[in-house]
Structures are given as C-alpha cells and as structure tokens.
C-alpha cells in the first residue's frame, strides 16, 4: 500500500492504473554475502532517490506479506547444482508452491548472481524471475545475470531499475554509477575492488609426512589496513596464475609476451595480463562460445552448437586445451584476451579470531592437484599458496563479511560444530574468540579427515581447548585408519541422544566444508537424529531443522 508514500511527480501508469509507489522491498538470498551487500547497496541508492526501502533476507521476510508488496527487487545467488542459498530456501519454496498468491499488482526485477563455470548458471534468479511473472507480476527491468565479476552489471541493473521507475536522469552521474553505490563509509579503504596487499608472516603445511593431502596454514598481516572481521567471515584473495601455464599459453599462441595489452584503463604486457588479470584455467560455456565466434573455426562452431558436447568438452579442460585443440587462432592477442574472464577472487573461511590475533588473519587452504585429460592440473590460488608464496611476499586480499555464519549473540549459548577437512577453519576462529572473550557456552566439535597421524589439523590446539574447558567435547572420525570408512556423521549418530539433548537445550549447529557430499549427508543425519530422538516423523523432523535454520540456529558455510 502506498498511503505513506511522499508525493510523486508524473509517473507512467502501471498495469493496475495506479501511480508507482515509492516503496521498495529488496529481498536477498545470500550464502557468501555478495547478494546481501549488493542488496544493501541497491537499497542505499534507491533511498538516495526518495524511495522508502526495506532490505531484508528472504528468510526474515514473512511470505504472507508478499501480497502487499508493490515494488520488489530480488538479489539472489545460486549454488551447487542450481540450488538457492540457505536463507532463500523457504521463500523459494513458498513462491513456487501452490499457496503462492496472485501478484497482479507487483512490479519486480531480479538480479541473479552465479558462476558461468557451473551448469546451472544463475538458476535461482531465473526461477524467481519466471515464477513472479507467472504469478502475474510485471517486470520493472529485465533480469540481469552476473558472473563472478558482478560489480558493474549489478550497478547497471540498479540504474536500469531506477530509469524504468522514471528516475533515470538524476540517477546517473558522470562515472556511470549511482552516487550512493559506494562502499559503506567509516570502514577500511580496502575492499573487493581495492584489495589490501597483505604480507605473508607464516606458511606451514599442517599435514604430516606421508599424507595424501597438503593443507596450508597461512598467517597474513593486516597491519595498517584498517580491515576488521568477525569469526565466520571470509577472506577474498586475488591469486596469480602459474607462470609455467602462462609461458605455455604464450608459446602455444605464438604471442609476444611484451606486447602491450589494454586491461580496463591500464596498459600492461601480455605476459602480465595473463599472469594476474585473467582467468586461464577454467573453461566456461560463454567463454568457449565467444572463442568460437572469434575464430570462426568450423569444428569449434560445431562443438558449441550442441550443449551436451560442449558440457562434456569443458569438463576438466582449461584454456591451453582449447587453444591446442582448435588451432590455428587468427586475430590479435588483444581480441583474444578480451573474451577471457577477469581473474576472480577466491574466498576462504578465516581460521583466526582478530580478538586473539590483532592485525592478523589466518587461512587454512587445501592444495588442489589432480590429473585430467593427460595433464596435471593445479588449483590456481591453493597452489600459489602451497608452492610459490614465501614469507615476506604479499597477497591482494579483502574481507568478505558473512552474516550467515556467526557465533550466537549470547556467549552462553551452546554450539555444535561440524567441520571435517578444511571445514575446520571457522571453528578454530570460533574457539579462539570464545577463549579470548571468556564465553561460557558449551561447545562440541566434530572433526574428520583421512588419517589420525598425518591429518589431524590443529590437533594440539584442540587438545588444549579441551583441557582448558573452552571446548566441552570433541569427536573425531578418521576415515581411512580402519577397514571401514568412518565419517563425522557416524560419530553424530553414535552420540544421537546427547546431540538431540543439546538441540533441545537451545544449541546452535554449524556445518563447514564440502557441500556436495559431506554437508548433504550431515544434514540428513541431523534429520535422522531429530526424528529418532524426538519421536517425530520425517517431515516433522525436517521442519524442526528448518525452524532452527529460520531462527539462525542452523548455519552452513559450505563450498
Ligand atoms: P574420505 O576421503 O576417506 O572418503 C575430509 O576430507 C574428510 O571428509 C575425509 O576423511 C573424507 O573421507 C571425509 N568425507 C568424504 N566424503 C564424506 C561424506 N559424504 N560425509 C562426511 N565425510 C566425508
């Protein structure tokens, strides 16, 4: 309803014949915090143009109020196999369900975030966009799908929304971005678009000799940056490509490494551009399609014409494979480089507490190495950290705040932490914080990895916290020490009675780590336990967990 709206100048009539309301609801669904910060930014911009804006997480929004909303912006990311973020799940389900209301008076627009190297690129945004139209809504502006480099398209989307709301002229300043679309004031000057060069203080392999794994513990200095973070936040890191891969590419393409290349407003050598400005390791569908257009190569055009073939081709292959397989490449290096994705930042869950380590940030990074299509492949950032980065070197970093993975506000609240492998990271931060602040709540850690002897990450720290009572209880699952696999969820099952008791007493549950297998299985195990110990049926048990999630007592940081 628009009774409280200030006077509106001449505005075009909408479908219902009434003037456009100056009320705007912005709902976000965010896992890592990007959609959330973009939603807030959009909110500030719209407020600057006289709108009364409500910005809310989808999980905090009462679905029954949807009917009353006149103007709705949705900012939502997509995860895994086209899945909504946790805090979008319930709302996504509601909107797609039979109880969703008719929305003939609704005007809406969707900003979708995603990663074009995944098959179901921006799927959740596409879902909402399609469904809101089906329910009778009218688009304010077309949906915008953003790849990893989302800042510019997101700002353009806000502008197009404003323009359509007949606010266009005043919204665009000379730099092309809306005036209020700047980073919040009173924070560090360093951000995603202006990263801080953090010095490496320490770099240690946490795994013992003979392990199948290499897990880097990095300590970085934030001195002089003004950057701050809370347990549960992540650190964004801009990596550089492996110089060997860069040389291989230059050779393969017969390019002059010293050729000057334009990257945005900068001019750098081709070698430098390939080293630190562009992604050369991942093939995405849009990239291969652009490459086909650029080269006009018949075989490549044929490949991109069939979605299934293209999908099979890009799996496990990189840019070097592409340029080898579809030679020769005509045209300039500049043209070729301009189809590449800008080097995206990698996000790592922070494994330290700032309270306990002033002006430092610690990371726990698993080195990624595997074979595919006859060549050894290496993770860009993890291998930079494991193999090339030395103490004294610097890394461009920024803080990615994550409101969706936070210690309980009340230090007396019990916490249950489930974090096998590098999923241990934020829980080291939680423990350091609780120790440093003298929090009294109980805490229970489930950790797992392959072998006790080589892979018990931060073992002595956990043992000390247990001894000092900072940690109440710890259960570990070493999957490859016995004849049968044991995982964290088996330890949870063995402790189901006590675990359910903790839940009943108000404990919060946190999962961090692998999404596809671990987090999924642990989620189902939680439902099993609630079903069994609570004497509920499956649906009721799922609802119990869903309610915990709604109340922020069940939080996940999964990847
Ligand atoms: P595995 O590699 O021996 O199968 C950290 O990587 C630990 O998580 C390892 O012990 C790994 O066991 C285990 N893990 C693998 N799949 C899992 C799953 N679906 N649920 C829980 N833990 C899993």
- Decide: 238 in ligand 1 pocket, CB within 6 A: no
For 528, phi then psi, to 5°, come to -50, -50
Closest-lying ligand 1 atom to the alpha carbon of residue 421 = 5
Distance 262 CA to ligand 1 centre (A): 45
- How confident is the model at residue 186, as a pLDDT? 53
Q: Which residues pair with 74 in a beta bridge?
A: 27, 110
Pairwise CA distance, residues 8 & 23, whole Å: 11
Distance 331 CA to ligand 1 centre (A): 47
| Helix (DSSP H) and strand (DSSP E) numbers for the chain | 20, 21
- Decide: 479 in ligand 1 pocket, CB within 6 A: yes
Pairwise CA distance, residues 86 & 323, whole Å: 39
How many Å from the N-terminal Cα to the C-terminal Cα in the chain? Answer: 40
Distance 451 CA to ligand 1 centre (A): 11
Pairwise CA distance, residues 361 & 245, whole Å: 29
- How confident is the model at residue 179, as a pLDDT? 39
Q: Give the residue from 138, 1, 143, 164 showing the smallest Cα distance to 67.
A: 1
Distance 479 CA to ligand 1 centre (A): 7
Residues in the chain: 559
Tens-digit pLDDT string for the chain (559 aa):
344 444 444 444 444 444 667 999 999 999 999 999 999 999 999 999 999 999 999 999 999 899 999 999 999 999 988 999 999 999 999 999 998 999 999 999 999 999 999 999 999 999 999 999 999 999 999 999 999 999 999 999 999 999 998 754 444 433 333 434 344 445 789 999 999 999 999 999 999 999 999 999 999 999 999 999 999 999 999 999 999 999 999 999 999 999 999 998 899 999 999 999 999 999 999 999 999 999 999 999 999 999 999 999 999 999 999 999 999 998 899 999 999 999 999 999 999 999 999 999 999 999 999 999 999 999 999 999 999 999 999 999 999 999 999 999 999 999 999 999 999 999 999 999 999 999 999 999 999 999 999 999 999 999 999 999 999 999 999 999 999 999 999 999 999 999 999 999 999 999 999 999 999 999 999 999 999 999 999 999 999 999 999 999 999 999 9
- Decide: 495 in ligand 1 pocket, CB within 6 A: no
- How confident is the model at residue 330, as a pLDDT? 87
Distance 477 CA to ligand 1 centre (A): 9
Mutate to test the pocket of ligand 1, among 420, 425, 476, 522 (most ligand atoms within 8 A of CB): 420
Of all protein residues, the one whose alpha carbon is nearest to atom 11 of ligand 1 is: 449
Distance 390 CA to ligand 1 centre (A): 30
E strand or H helix at 479: none
* Residue 243 CB neighbours (<10 A): 12
Of all protein residues, the one whose alpha carbon is nearest to atom 17 of ligand 1 is: 518
- Decide: 421 in ligand 1 pocket, CB within 6 A: yes
Tokens of 459: 């073992």
Tokens of 103: 């929305």
Closest-lying ligand 1 atom to the alpha carbon of residue 485 = 3
Half-sphere exposure of 126 (CA within 13 A, CB side): 11
- How confident is the model at residue 19, as a pLDDT? 60
Pairwise CA distance, residues 528 & 151, whole Å: 42
Tokens of 71: 């103007």
- Decide: 401 in ligand 1 pocket, CB within 6 A: no
- How confident is the model at residue 20, as a pLDDT? 66
Closest-lying ligand 1 atom to the alpha carbon of residue 420 = 5
Mutate to test the pocket of ligand 1, among 514, 520, 525 (most ligand atoms within 8 A of CB): 514
Pairwise CA distance, residues 335 & 314, whole Å: 21
- Decide: 527 in ligand 1 pocket, CB within 6 A: no
Pairwise CA distance, residues 351 & 431, whole Å: 10
């Amino acid at each position: 309803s628009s009774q409280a709206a200030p006077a509106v100048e001449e505005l075009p009539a909408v479908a219902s014949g009434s003037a456009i309301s100056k009320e705007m609801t912005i709902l976000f669904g965010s896992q890592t915090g990007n959609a959330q910060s973009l939603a807030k930014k959009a909110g500030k911009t719209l407020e600057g143009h006289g709108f009364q804006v409500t910005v809310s997480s989808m999980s905090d929004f009462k679905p029954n109020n949807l009917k009353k909303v006149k103007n709705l912006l949705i900012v939502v990311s997509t995860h895994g196999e086209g899945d909504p973020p946790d805090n979008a799940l319930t709302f996504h389900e509601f909107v797609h369900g039979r109880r969703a209301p008719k929305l003939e008076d609704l005007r809406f627009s969707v900003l979708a975030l995603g990663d074009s190297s995944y098959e179901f690129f921006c799927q959740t945004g596409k879902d909402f966009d399609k469904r809101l139209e089906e329910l009778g809504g009218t688009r304010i502006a077309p949906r915008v799908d953003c790849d990893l480099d989302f800042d510019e398209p997101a700002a353009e989307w806000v502008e197009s929304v404003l323009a359509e709301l007949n606010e266009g002229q005043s919204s665009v300043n000379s730099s092309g971005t809306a005036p209020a679309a700047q980073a919040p004031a009173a924070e560090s000057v360093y951000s995603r678009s202006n990263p801080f060069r953090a010095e490496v203080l320490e770099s240690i392999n946490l795994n013992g000799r003979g392990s199948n794994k290499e897990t880097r513990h990095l300590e970085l200095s934030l001195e002089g940056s003004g950057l701050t973070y809370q347990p549960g936040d992540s650190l964004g890191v801009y990596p550089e490509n492996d110089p060997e891969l860069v040389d291989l590419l230059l050779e393969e393409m017969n390019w002059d490494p010293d050729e000057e290349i334009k990257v945005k407003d900068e001019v750098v050598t081709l070698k430098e551009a390939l080293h630190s400005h562009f992604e050369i390791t991942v093939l995405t569908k849009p990239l291969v399609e652009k490459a086909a257009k650029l080269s006009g190569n018949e075989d490549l055009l044929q490949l991109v014409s069939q979605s299934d073939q293209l999908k099979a081709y890009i799996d496990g292959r990189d840019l070097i494979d592409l340029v080898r397989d579809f030679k020769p490449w005509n045209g300039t290096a500049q043209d070729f480089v301009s189809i590449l994705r800008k080097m995206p930042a990698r996000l790592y869950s922070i494994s330290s507490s700032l309270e306990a380590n002033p002006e430092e940030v610690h990371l726990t990074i698993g080195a990624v190495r595997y074979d595919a299509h006859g060549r050894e492949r290496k993770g860009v950032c993890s291998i930079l950290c494991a193999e090339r980065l030395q103490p004294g070197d610097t890394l461009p970093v920024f803080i990615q705040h994550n409101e969706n993975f936070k210690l309980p506000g009340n230090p007396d609240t019990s916490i249950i932490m489930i974090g096998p492998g590098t999923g241990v990271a934020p829980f080291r931060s939680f423990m350091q914080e609780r120790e440093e602040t003298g929090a009294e709540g109980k805490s229970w850690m489930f950790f797992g990895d392959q072998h006790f002897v080589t892979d018990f990450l931060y073992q002595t720290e956990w043992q000390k916290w247990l001894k000092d009572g900072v940690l109440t209880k710890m259960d570990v699952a070493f999957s490859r020490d016995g004849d049968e696999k044991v995982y964290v969820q088996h330890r949870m099952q063995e402790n189901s009675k006590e675990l359910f008791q903790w839940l009943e007493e108000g404990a919060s549950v946190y999962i961090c780590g692998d999404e596809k297998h671990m987090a999924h299985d642990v989620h189902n195990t939680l439902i099993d336990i609630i079903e069994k110990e609570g004497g509920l049926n499956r649906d009721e048990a799922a609802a119990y967990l869903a309610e915990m999630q709604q109340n922020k007592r069940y939080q996940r940081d999964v990847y």
